Structure 1
Amino acid sequence: MPLPESTRRQGVIAVVRTRDVSQLSPLLEALCEAGLATIELTMTTPGVLNELAALIRRFDEACIGVGTLHAADDAERALDAGARFLVTPSAAPAVAEIARPRGGALLAGALTPTEIVRAWNDGASCVKVFPAQTVGPNYVRHIHGPYPDIPLVPSGGVGLEDIVPWITAGADAVSIGGPLIGGATEGDLTGLSARVRRALDLVVAARSS
């Protein structure tokens, strides 16, 4: 299954990690109010799968997925709760086997050309280039030379100032955590809406250049 249309259209995936699951609801509310369509909740937030269904029901206008997945049973629980997409930090064929028959989009992590092709052949909807900071935007151009049909989403060390270079290089979207979320995980929502708007505007500018 391809990436959700809203994700491809906006081109930004917000990666949300919190110390406690109770911090997620106000943060998701702020992101949705700012107009962000796609939010990745990570397994590093303790208890996230227990609260996932309730969060998805409350923020049904958002495209919510689960990331930092390693195990097939966690992937199954995420899909059972209504996750729209799954994200892995590295190759995870077992997760791909869960996602494929159930129609869940999968962003599979990879870095080298061999890993990227393997993730794509295993059934990824797109490949998460991770950690993207180690290779830089031109890497997308180099990969798309021999593999133009593999959608790529950089993740890891991507800041707001990196959005235009990555999108211009051919990335389908960018995955951003700390530089976008800022202090919002601790309740400081100051500037979050402005950062979201800036990120979305930068994608539009990059695609129109």
Structure 2
Amino acid sequence: MDLLAELTQRKVLAIIRADGPDRALECIRTLVTAGITILEVSLTTPGGAEAIAKARSEFDPSVLIGAGTVITSDQADEVAAAGAGFVVTPAITQGAHRSVALNLPLLCGALTPTEIVTALDLGALAVKVFPAKLHGPGYFRELRAPLPDAPLIAVGGVDATTTPQYLAAGALAVGLGSPLLGDAGTGGSLADLADRAATFLAAVRSTDA
């Protein structure tokens, strides 16, 4: 499946951070049922690779499951073995380099134009502009002038209000962590998580109007 095309179409990447693999899987189930079907499990989650493996065995291939916060080469190897369909990094890490070597689609974290170009030259499929809230949606418009074809994803402090703004400014998708997940990863209400997912999806649909 073409991850870049699917991100461009679906526009939402959920970022799962939980207190263990079972809770991460419950969050994934809730989000998939709500309609968010591209998800990364951050390796800050204890047993994150286990959660990825379980989710990959449970859902059909249309649900895209990746690994986030991949820092080291060993972590890249671990999530590849777990069946991750893509890797997300916070920066240009050794894990990013190893993911490219493994032919795992890479969403590489960067912030400045130099870092963005370096990530794309490394072989990143798209660049996770992080933390997006540092400069806001207007920064994406500025980046579009010298880098009109760079595939950029807004991550870090993106909420339901700013989601349409980032998409309008040139982000192909948004990555949603704590504004979407809230406390669901640590025992909070899954029903509330589903409600937040619906709110974000409505915000995305408003950009198609």
Per the normalisation by structure 2, the TM-score is 0.91
State the 1:4 CA deviation.
4.5
Q: Counterparts of 1:36-185 in structure 2 under 5 Å?
A: 36-60=36-60, 61-92=62-93, 94-185=94-185
* Unmatched runs of 5 consecutive residues or more in structure 2: none
Residues 24-50 of structure 1: per-residue CA shift (max 9 Å, x gap): 122111111111111110010112113
Instruction: State how far apart, in whole Å, the 2-side matches of 1:204 and 1:104 are.
Output: 29
Q: Shift of residue 191 of structure 1? A: 2.8
Would you say the 8 A contact 1:2–1:125 is kept in 2?
no
Q: Is the 1:14–1:40 contact (alpha carbons within 8 Å) kept by the matching residues of 2?
A: yes
Q: Percent identity?
A: 38
How far apart are the structure 2 equivalents of 1:134 and 1:113?
A: 14
Contact 1:3 1:126 in 2 (8 A): no
**2 CA distance for matches of 1:43 and 1:54?**
15
Partner of 1:190: 191
Name the CA distance, whole Å, in 1 between partners of 2:150 and 2:5. 16
Deviations 1:138-160 (A, max 9, x none): 11111110111111111111111
- Given that 1:72 and 1:95 are in contact with CA atoms closer than 8 Å, whether structure 2 keeps it comes out as yes
Q: CA RMSD in A?
A: 1.8
Secondary structure in 2 matching 1:191: helix
Equivalent pair of 2:16/2:39 in contact (CA under 8 Å) = yes
- The answer to whether the Cα contact below 8 Å between 1:2 and 1:126 also exists between their aligned partners in 2 is no
**How many equivalent pairs are there?**
207
Q: Which amino acid aligns with 1:17?
A: R
Where does residue 30 of structure 2 map in the other structure?
A: 30
Of stretches 149-158 and 99-108 in structure 1, the one that deviates more from structure 2 is 99-108
The one-letter amino acid of 2:79's match is A
Deviates more, 1:194-203 or 1:63-72: 194-203
**Does structure 1 retain, via aligned residues, the 8 Å contact 2:4–2:125?**
no
Check the 8 A contact 1:10/1:200 in 2, yes or no: no
TM-score, with normalisation over the residues of structure 1?
0.91
Query: How far apart in 2 are the matches of 1:193 and 1:51?
Result: 19
2:31 is matched by which residue type in structure 1?
L
Gaps of 5+ in 1: none
